[in-house]
Structure 1
Amino acid sequence: MSCVISAFIVHKLVRDNNQLRAEQGPGILPMNDSIQRLMDKLHEKYIQQGGRSFGTFETDQVTFPISKFLEASNIVTNHTQFYDLSLNILQHLVAKASHTSATGGWVVICLYQHSNHQNLSVAVVNEVVGAGINENFEVEESIYIDLSKLRHAGRIDLTKWQNGANNYVSFIKAIRDSTYFKEFLGCNTTINSVVESNNVINAIHRYCHDNNLNYDDRKAIESRAYDFLKSASQANAPINVEHLANAAAPEDSENLKEFLSSDEFQINDGFVPDLRSLKKLLELTTKSSFWNIKINREAFNNGADYDPETKILTIPVTDPSDQAEFAKEVQGIDEDD
């Protein structure tokens, strides 16, 4: 699905003599096929690359003024305000990046719609010099935008923000210099390890279901994911989706990484898994007003059975003392008998 672009502009960050400055673009650019292809690729790469963090705007609008800039403009319905908004964003970006090792680059700012949501994206991208062959069969220099590895990019889901939802701000949590981009966006990424762990578990279950994996393959992925997440939890070590995908599905890690990185699950990179929540990868549960049962998935290889037609779960009782207790209950035997 292509991005429906409403407004697109490019500015530039330049570092001269260890000083970072901005070069302003002349205005909102007229749409063409090149801009469309660039934004479609940028949107796709932003999601599929993974390594993102999600959050909400900080309440301090003096230190973190992006939300104030948005409130003062009405860019969703009035695109003429987009250029002034982009200049405010650019000035704030320079202020936040000046005291880092950021080397500069092209600042791409775009207002676009995707999956019925209005988004504002900001990315700092760089040029790469390559080679091309022209119509005369001659090799000539070719300069293009490098999107192979995004390091500084963020997005604000304006629809979610205006509707009072959560996790409407996101950014790529790069290995280096990601702190300045987080502060530039004013993104509060308070992480709940239980919520994040459940998001990961739900995503892995969905991945297995959507790929129609058989029982053994599904169990293998879930078991490897459990071992990886358990080790991280016990070591109090933050995880990222790429490493999890490599561990859980080594033969299909790229597809699993893209699945875990999707907007649907909004998994924050860098959280420590909650050990108690991880049991859901190995257990099935069912409860009513009369019972609350947790059963390990391995039970179905050790005597347990479930009939989808009758909806009856059968579990063998193997412990002798438990057998006696259940026998008394169903046979009406008193303790004195």
Structure 2
Amino acid sequence: MSPNQPSQIQHTITDLVVHRLIKEAQAPAAIELRAAGCPLDDAAVRLVERLCTHYADRSSKGFGRFEEDEESFPMPRLLREHVVERSTDFITLSRHMMEQLQICAHDEELDASAFVVVARITEGGTDCLWVALVGESIGSAISGALDIVDCSYLDFSSLRAAGRIDLAGWQRGDERYISFLKGRGDVAAWFKRFLGCSDIVIALKETKKLVLALNQFVETERLEAPARDALLERAHGYLDELGETGEPVALDEIARQVWPEQPERLDTALNSEAIKLSSGFVPDRRAIRPLVRFRASGEQWKLEFDRSGLRSGAIQYDRASDTLVLSGLPDYLKKMLLEE
């Protein structure tokens, strides 16, 4: 989905406020707070839609859950007071969050100044809390007298950091209910610390999810057999190389390596919120074998073969008779069969 396309998910804004983080390089952090929530008008709706769309378009997301140490990572306590106990209102919650953001940004030696969008949004029935750091740019506008004037605006191409907390998933105790942008430069680490997010990445489980996502993609795209096999073989070769060298996965790079014809389509599929696939894990080389190999078993047999055998004719499947024909059997197997 491009930034100009509308989101396909219905977003309902419950609360929205914009504060400001002021952090120059090698200087202490400061915050500028809005006194009340923003009006939930058409401008607010457009802002939320752009935020959600740009977030969905960005690669390299991480997923996790809250750290258990609420003294060091107070976000779950702040949310519990607002969402569960209802002892604080949304503006109070956002102010406490900004104080924590200021603490986390304080010791960083970088320019992290940005507008901070805090919103509670229902997305297709899912109640979520969003926090995003959005940069500011200067553009040109035309006044009523047709004069050219400067105007400042939120530049979503400079979405420096963002996080999304599934509030229902958090209350259910799901394994992972926080998603966040991995970020560019040094923003990601301290922003994840602000969220109080434990980045859960299990290589074997994530690799299996990646393999499943690739297989679902070739089915969804209805690729012809040669194109499908070529894509999966490229994926296997690339991931196997990463696994051998110990290099972590970057989802956008997988898309460029595996389907250079239209990498943006594969990148969108791999970054789907439904999959919740993390980047940054080293592929488990055992788990990528299904990309190029079939394995099955019945009550009286087991079978494993490479996809290339179907193309070479060494293995043929006859759909009409529901039989699989193997050619070029090795001598030792033929000998064992003749002895039966």
TM-score by length of 2: 0.91
Distance in 2 between the 1:283 and 1:115 partners? 38
| Structure 1 pair 135–236 and aligned structure 2 pair: CA distance change class (3 A) | same
Task: Give the corresponding residue for 1:249.
Answer: 259
Q: How far has the Cα of 1:133 moved from its partner?
A: 3.9
Task: Give the corresponding residue for 1:306.
Answer: 317
Task: Give the corresponding residue for 2:96.
Answer: 88
Q: Could you list the per-position Cα deviations for residues 164-185 of structure 1 after superposition, in whole angstroms to 9, with x for gaps in the alignment?
A: 2121011111232211011111
Q: Which amino acid aligns with 1:316?
A: S
Q: How far has the Cα of 1:48 moved from its partner?
A: 1.8
Task: Give the corresponding residue for 2:302.
Answer: 292
Task: Give the corresponding residue for 1:53.
Answer: 62
Contact 2:135/2:159, CA 8 A, preserved across alignment: no
Picking from 275, 281, 286, the partner of 1:265 is: 275
Contact 1:2/1:40, CA 8 A, preserved across alignment: no
Q: Which runs of 5+ in 2 are unaligned?
A: 1-8
Q: Could you list the per-position Cα deviations for residues 238-274 of structure 1 after superposition, in whole angstroms to 9, with x for gaps in the alignment?
A: 1210111100011111111111111111111111000
1:1-337 pair list within 5 angstroms? 1-15=9-23, 18-74=27-83, 81-100=89-108, 101-134=110-143, 137-177=146-186, 178-303=188-313, 304-329=315-340
Task: Give the corresponding residue for 1:334.
Answer: none
Distance in 2 between the 1:161 and 1:217 partners? 41
- Give RMSD over aligned pairs: 1.9
Q: How far has the Cα of 1:301 moved from its partner?
A: 1.3
| Structure 1 pair 255–209 and aligned structure 2 pair: CA distance change class (3 A) | same
| Structure 1 pair 30–252 and aligned structure 2 pair: CA distance change class (3 A) | same
SS class of match (1:19): coil
Task: Give the corresponding residue for 1:335.
Answer: none
Distance in 2 between the 1:86 and 1:223 partners? 48
SS class of match (1:143): strand
Distance in 2 between the 1:312 and 1:56 partners? 48
Q: How far has the Cα of 1:80 moved from its partner?
A: 7.3
Q: How far has the Cα of 1:79 moved from its partner?
A: 11
| Structure 1 pair 244–161 and aligned structure 2 pair: CA distance change class (3 A) | same
Distance in 2 between the 1:311 and 1:62 partners? 62
Contact 1:224/1:248, CA 8 A, preserved across alignment: yes
SS class of match (1:188): strand
TM-score by length of 1: 0.92
Contact 1:106/1:125, CA 8 A, preserved across alignment: yes
Q: How far has the Cα of 1:5 moved from its partner?
A: 0.8
Q: Which amino acid aligns with 1:4?
A: T
Q: How far has the Cα of 1:316 moved from its partner?
A: 2.5
Distance in 2 between the 1:317 and 1:37 partners? 63
Query: Quick check: 204-213 or 305-314, which moved more?
Result: 305-314
Q: Which amino acid aligns with 1:94?
A: Q
Q: How far has the Cα of 1:315 moved from its partner?
A: 2.4
Distance in 2 between the 1:243 and 1:218 partners? 19
SS class of match (1:277): coil
Contact 1:55/1:189, CA 8 A, preserved across alignment: yes
Q: Which runs of 5+ in 1 are unaligned?
A: 330-337
Contact 2:135/2:160, CA 8 A, preserved across alignment: no
Q: How far has the Cα of 1:309 moved from its partner?
A: 4.9
SS class of match (2:242): helix
Q: Could you list the per-position Cα deviations for residues 138-175 of structure 1 after superposition, in whole angstroms to 9, with x for gaps in the alignment?
A: 43323221111422111101121112212101111123
Q: Which amino acid aligns with 1:120?
A: L
Query: Quick check: 52-61 or 215-224, which moved more?
Result: 215-224
| Structure 1 pair 281–134 and aligned structure 2 pair: CA distance change class (3 A) | farther
Q: How far has the Cα of 1:328 moved from its partner?
A: 2.9
Distance in 2 between the 1:271 and 1:82 partners? 36
Q: Which amino acid aligns with 1:320?
A: D
